[in-house]
Structure 1
Amino acid sequence: MRDTASPFEFDGPIPLDRMIDRRQETDMIKTWTREGRLVALVAPRRYGKTSLIRKIAADGKQDGLVVVTADLFEVASLSDLVLRLERAWTQHTPDALRAAASKILATARTGVSITGAGFAVALADRPTADPVPALHTLLELPAQLAQREGGRILIVLDEFKSVAGVAGAEELICQHVWRHRDAVSYLFSGGMPNMLSSMSHDGEPISGRRVETLRLDRLPTAELHEVIKERFATQGRDVTSVLDRLVTMGEGHPQRTMLLAHLLWLEVRTGARATSDHLEAAATAALRQIDPEARATMSGLTVGQRKVLRAVAEYGTPMAARALRTLGLPKTTAQKATPHLVAAGLIEDTDQGWRVIDPLLARWIRTNYGTRA
C-alpha cells in the first residue's frame, strides 16, 4: 500500500514552515512597509502571493506590525467593498487593538462593527442606505488606530484590480491612502502589472515612482531540487533519477511543481526509487486533475484567443508562420488576441521567449490538441 501522507502542499496557501525561498521578497516588502512606501505585489495565480502575505503578517506579530488583509476578488459595489473591509478588520484586528477599533467605529455611527452585527444588518434595515460614510469610516480606521495606539499598520488589498469595476471606489481609496501614508502602509496585490494605472492623486497617477512594484518570479531550480529531494527522502524514497525531469516539467511554477511532486509521491512506495514510468503516471494524473479547469479556461476565450494560446503552447510564439498556417490564425487576429492573454495571466513574454504561464495547461493543450508530430 502506498503512503499517501504527502509532504507537498499544493491546494491553498502554504504553511509558513513549508514556504520555499521568498526570503528576499519578504525582506523587501517589510523594508518598504517600514519606510511607508506603497507596494504593488504582482504575480500570476498560484504563485504564492497569499502565502507571502501570510508570512509577512506572521512576522509582523513579532515586529510590532499590524497586518489587515482584505480579499477584494470580484467586489461588486461600494456596499460590497464596505463588507469586505469590515470582514478584514473583524478577522485580523489583534486583541490588543480590538477595544480601540470598536470604540472608533461605534463613535462614527455608520453601522460598521467588528464585533457582532455589522454593516450587513444596517443594509438589511435600510437597503438604500448610502455606503460612502461607512467606507470613509473603515478607510480612516487604520490612521486613527496608528495615531492612538502607535506603531505602523499595513493594509493589504488583495485582488485589487476588481476595485476598478466599482464606480468611485479607487478615488475614495486613493484619498485615504495618500493622506495616511506617514502612519499606514498599503500593499496592493493582484495578477496584473497595471492594476494601479487608473488610480491618481490630484490628477497625477500614483503608479511609477510613487509605487514600489514587486513581481514574484518562478521558484529557483536549485531550491526546488533541494526541497523535493529532501522531502522524498523522509521515508526512504529516492527521486534522484527523475528529479531533473520533474523540475523541468514544473518550469519553476510554485503550485504546479508541488502538484507534480505530490502525484509522484503517490506513485512511489516507501523505500522505493522513482522511475520514468512513475513520473509519466504522475504527469498523466496531473492532466486529469486540471482537465475541468483547462476546459473552462479555453471556453472562456474567443476563437482567436484560443488559437494564440495553442500557438504559444506548441510553437513557443503567437506569430510562428507554421502556427498561423496550421491553426488558420490570421496575423492581425494574433496581434489583437495576444495582449488579452497577457493581461489575463495566461501567457508571458520572457527573455527565453513566449510561454504559457501554467506549464500543465501547456502540456494539456499539446496532449489534447497537438498539431506537431
Structure 2
Amino acid sequence: MANNPFKYGTIVQEPYFTDRKEELATIKESLNSANHLILISPRRFGKTSLILKAVHATKRPYIFINVQRAVSTADLAELIVKETLKRYPLERIKSFLKHFRIIPTISINPITNGIDVTFNPGVDSNILLEDALGLLEMVSTKKERLIAVFDEFQEILTLEKGIDKKLRAIMQEQSLVNYVFLGSQESMMTSIFEKVKSPFYHFGQLMHLKKIPFEDFHQYVQEGLSAVTTESNDLAKRILNITGCHPDYIQQLAASVWDLLNYKKLDREADAVDTAMTQLIAVHDLDFERLWTGFTKNERRILRDLATLGKLSSKDGYATSTTYSTASRMLKAGYLIKTETYEIEDPFFKNWLLTRLS
C-alpha cells in the first residue's frame, strides 16, 4: 500500500519538499561566501526546511539554535555550547572549553542519552555569551566553515536589554562562521537588520520568503493525488484556493484528502476536499471557539472582514489608524500574516469563521 505523499507539522525533507529552487540556489550561494544570511517569512512557510536542505547540501558542519527555547542570556549560551557538543566530539572540544572563563558543567542525560550543559547561576552572562560564541570560531576551519543557524532570532530582544549590541560586537570579529538568522516577526526582524541605528544594520544578505507560486504547488499536489484519483487536477486547485497557497496548510489538507481517497471513505471523489475540510474544522472546533472568545471586539471585526471581504475595513465607526494598529498587533501575535495584503494565518480558522458568520 502506498504511503501518504504529504507531510505537515514538522521539518519537511525529500520527497515532501517542493519547489523553492530559486531561493535554494540563492541560499547556497550565500553559504558558499563569507557573508551572513537573514531569512524572514511568516510562520510555517517552510523557512526552516529550506535552510536545512541548503545546509545539508553544503556537507559542512552546522548547529541549529531555536532562540525561543532560551529565557535568558545564560540559556542562550548553554544552548550554543550544547548544540556544538552534538556536532563535534567532546575530545576535540575539551581543550577549547578549558579556555572558558566560566567552565560549564557537562553531563549525559541517562534517559535520553543527550548532553546537558549548565552554568552556575548568578555568573556574568556577558562572559558566558562571549565564550560560547567564541567556541564556534574555535571549532571552525577554513576548509569546513561552521554554519550557525539561529531560528526565531527576533526573540533575542526579549532576553536582555542591549544583547543585540553584545552579539554583533562578538560576531563581527569572527571570520570562520557563517551565521544564518531566521525570523517570523517581519517588523522586528526588519528593525534589527534594516534600521540604520541597529547594531545588526546590514549585517547580512536579506531574503523575504514568499508563498510558493500557485502553478508550482499545483503540480506538486496534483502529482501526489494522481495515484488515488482521476480528478487530481480539480482537487489540487480547490486545495490551493482554500489554503491560499500556505505551504503547511496545503500539506495538511492534501494529506487528509489523500487518506479519504486512498481508503475509500466517501461516495464521490469530488466531495473529498469538502469532507476533509469539514473533518479538520470539527477536530479544531473547541480550540477555534476558545480562540474566538479571547479576541477583543475590534479584533473580531478585523477577522470578520478578512474572512468575508478579504481585506481590512474601517467601517463600523473605527478609525483607519485603529484598524491598522490592531492588525499590526495581531500580525505580531501570529494570528495574521502579511504578503501582498493582510490574511488570516490559519485558513481552517478562516473557514470556521465563515461557517459561523453565514
Tell whether the 8 Å contact from 1:161 to 1:192 is kept in structure 2 after alignment. Answer: yes
Unaligned runs of 5+ in 1: none
Aligned amino acid, residue 65 of structure 2: A
Match of 2:83 among 85, 88, 95: 88
Tell whether the 8 Å contact from 1:69 to 1:155 is kept in structure 2 after alignment. Answer: yes
Counterpart residue number, 2:125: 131
Counterpart residue number, 1:365: 353
Q: Note the C-alpha offset of 1:175.
A: 1.3
Counterpart residue number, 1:46: 44
Q: Verify: 1:183 aligned to 2:176, yes or no.
A: yes
Match of 1:72 among 67, 70, 85: 67
Q: Verify: 1:106 aligned to 2:98, yes or no.
A: yes
Counterpart residue number, 1:343: 332
Instruction: Encode CA deviations 1:117-146: one digit per residue, 9 max, x unaligned.
Output: 7542x43xxx32333322211111122223
| In 1, Cα distance between equivalents of 2:153 and 2:237 | 37
| In 2, Cα distance between equivalents of 1:178 and 1:53 | 22
Q: Note the C-alpha offset of 1:49.
A: 1.7
CA distance change for structure 1 residues 57 and 112 in 2, over 3 Å: closer, same or farther?
A: farther
CA distance change for structure 1 residues 137 and 207 in 2, over 3 Å: closer, same or farther?
A: closer
Instruction: Encode CA deviations 1:39-87: one digit per residue, 9 max, x unaligned.
Output: 21111111112211221231121xxx32211011152111211222223
Normalized against structure 1, the TM-score is what?
0.82
Counterpart residue number, 1:205: 198
Q: Tell me the SS of whatever aligns to 2:148.
A: strand
| In 1, Cα distance between equivalents of 2:333 and 2:192 | 20
Give aligned pairs, total: 349
Tell whether the 8 Å contact from 1:239 to 1:273 is kept in structure 2 after alignment. Answer: no
| In 2, Cα distance between equivalents of 1:129 and 1:208 | 30
**Which deviates more, 250-259 or 355-364?**
355-364
Tell whether the 8 Å contact from 1:156 to 1:186 is kept in structure 2 after alignment. Answer: yes
CA distance change for structure 1 residues 52 and 296 in 2, over 3 Å: closer, same or farther?
A: farther
RMSD: 3.0
Q: Note the C-alpha offset of 1:165.
A: 0.7
Match of 2:310 among 310, 316, 319: 316
Counterpart residue number, 1:8: 6
Normalized against structure 2, the TM-score is what?
0.85
| In 1, Cα distance between equivalents of 2:125 and 2:219 | 51
CA distance change for structure 1 residues 159 and 305 in 2, over 3 Å: closer, same or farther?
A: same
CA distance change for structure 1 residues 354 and 44 in 2, over 3 Å: closer, same or farther?
A: closer
Q: Verify: 1:32 aligned to 2:30, yes or no.
A: yes
Q: Note the C-alpha offset of 1:164.
A: 0.5
Q: Note the C-alpha offset of 1:159.
A: 1.0
Aligned amino acid, residue 192 of structure 1: Q
Tell whether the 8 Å contact from 1:196 to 1:207 is kept in structure 2 after alignment. Answer: no
Q: Verify: 1:248 aligned to 2:236, yes or no.
A: no
Instruction: Encode CA deviations 1:255-283: one digit per residue, 9 max, x unaligned.
Output: 10111111111221468996332211011
Tell whether the 8 Å contact from 1:10 to 1:258 is kept in structure 2 after alignment. Answer: yes
Counterpart residue number, 1:356: 344
CA distance change for structure 1 residues 270 and 336 in 2, over 3 Å: closer, same or farther?
A: closer
Counterpart residue number, 1:230: 223
Instruction: Encode CA deviations 1:199-222: one digit per residue, 9 max, x unaligned.
Output: 58xx94255544322121112222
**Which deviates more, 191-200 or 161-170?**
191-200
Aligned amino acid, residue 101 of structure 1: I
Q: Tell me the SS of whatever aligns to 2:187.
A: coil
Q: Tell me the SS of whatever aligns to 2:140.
A: helix
Aligned amino acid, residue 255 of structure 2: H
| In 1, Cα distance between equivalents of 2:32 and 2:290 | 42
CA distance change for structure 1 residues 105 and 299 in 2, over 3 Å: closer, same or farther?
A: farther
Q: Tell me the SS of whatever aligns to 1:41.
A: strand
Q: Tell me the SS of whatever aligns to 1:179.
A: coil
Unaligned runs of 5+ in 2: 109-114
Counterpart residue number, 1:161: 154
Tell whether the 8 Å contact from 2:228 to 2:261 is kept in structure 1 after alignment. Answer: no
Q: Note the C-alpha offset of 1:198.
A: 5.8
Aligned amino acid, residue 33 of structure 1: L
| In 2, Cα distance between equivalents of 1:176 and 1:13 | 30
Instruction: Encode CA deviations 1:90-118: one digit per residue, 9 max, x unaligned.
Output: 33x155xx543332123325233777475
Aligned amino acid, residue 97 of structure 2: L
CA distance change for structure 1 residues 348 and 13 in 2, over 3 Å: closer, same or farther?
A: closer
Counterpart residue number, 2:53: 55
Aligned amino acid, residue 27 of structure 1: A
Tell whether the 8 Å contact from 2:5 to 2:16 is kept in structure 1 after alignment. Answer: no
| In 2, Cα distance between equivalents of 1:237 and 1:87 | 50
Aligned amino acid, residue 146 of structure 1: S
| In 1, Cα distance between equivalents of 2:221 and 2:190 | 39
Q: Note the C-alpha offset of 1:337.
A: 0.6
Tell whether the 8 Å contact from 1:112 to 1:118 is kept in structure 2 after alignment. Answer: no
